[in-house]
């Protein structure tokens, strides 16, 4: 459900061998020079691909697709634009609301939870999930009738919605997410 999980899943999808290193982002004192050389901002995920270093999960996923499995980027300009649209929609519209719901319903100590923020985020997330559900109502994947990087990027965010119970009224989005979660690459990433 994290940004690192999104990139880990993408690495599995493109089938490139990789070495995975866990970093405790809650303990900045534990960051070593090797990690900071790859991610000077101290954020995860970050990759070092034969000396090319890159951070930010969506940028990494687009890079991995372009370098190792370009068919995941779409067949033409319109598909690529839609792939970017859905990836950015998930990150900038849906994910912030879902993370607020998660914080104020489960992650924060009860004394720090804010019911108004929780309800506001739920209210904002509900039409976003409904929009996704309508889009997926008659299609198997988000773009072009086939699996693309948009499914990884958006699916990793919608996985949070499932976790916090916001897919109950979204049968098409739920079925799409289950198709994604059944993929061997997702299963391998989740098993780590």
CATH of the domain at 15: 3.40.30.10
In this predicted structure, the answer to whether residue 178 has a pLDDT above a threshold of 50 is: yes
Model confidence, pTM: 0.93
> Which residue from 50, 56, 77 is spatially nearest to 10, judged by alpha carbons?
56
- Over residues 14-46, the pLDDT tens digits come to 999 999 888 887 787 778 888 888 988 888 999
In this predicted structure, the answer to whether residue 83 has a pLDDT above a threshold of 80 is: yes
- One domain for residues 95 and 153: yes
pLDDT at 27: 82
CATH of the domain at 163: 1.20.1050.10
- One domain for residues 63 and 115: no
**Per-residue pLDDT band at 2 (split at 50, 70, 90):** low
Residue 154: domain span: 71-190
- One domain for residues 114 and 26: no
What are the strands, taking DSSP E only, across 24-94? Answer: 46-49, 52-55
- Number of domains forming the structure of the chain: 2
146 - beta bridge partners?
143
- One domain for residues 60 and 76: no
Site of tokens 């059944």: 182
In this predicted structure, the answer to whether residue 1 has a pLDDT above a threshold of 50 is: no
Helical H segments across 72-148, by residue range: 77-89, 95-102, 115-136
């Amino acid at each position: 459900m994290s940004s690192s999980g999104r990139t880990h899943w993408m690495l599995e999808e493109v089938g490139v061998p990789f070495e995975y290193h866990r970093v405790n982002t809650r303990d900045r004192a534990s960051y070593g020079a090797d990690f900071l050389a790859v991610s000077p901002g101290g954020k995860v995920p970050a990759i070092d691909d034969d000396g090319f270093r890159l951070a930010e999960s969506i940028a990494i996923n687009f890079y991995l697709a372009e370098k190792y499995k370009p068919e995941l980027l779409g067949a033409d300009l319109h598909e690529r634009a839609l792939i970017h649209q859905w990836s950015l929609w998930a990150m900038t519209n849906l994910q912030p609301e879902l993370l607020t719901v998660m914080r104020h319903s489960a992650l924060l100590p009860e004394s720090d939870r804010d019911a108004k923020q929780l309800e506001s985020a739920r209210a904002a997330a509900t039409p976003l999930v409904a929009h996704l559900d309508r889009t997926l109502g008659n299609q198997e994947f988000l773009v072009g009738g086939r699996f693309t990087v948009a499914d990884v990027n958006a699916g990793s965010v919608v996985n949070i919605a499932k976790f916090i119970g916001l897919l109950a009224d979204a049968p098409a989005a739920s079925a799409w997410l289950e198709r994604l979660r059944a993929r061997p690459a997702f299963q391998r990433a989740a098993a780590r």
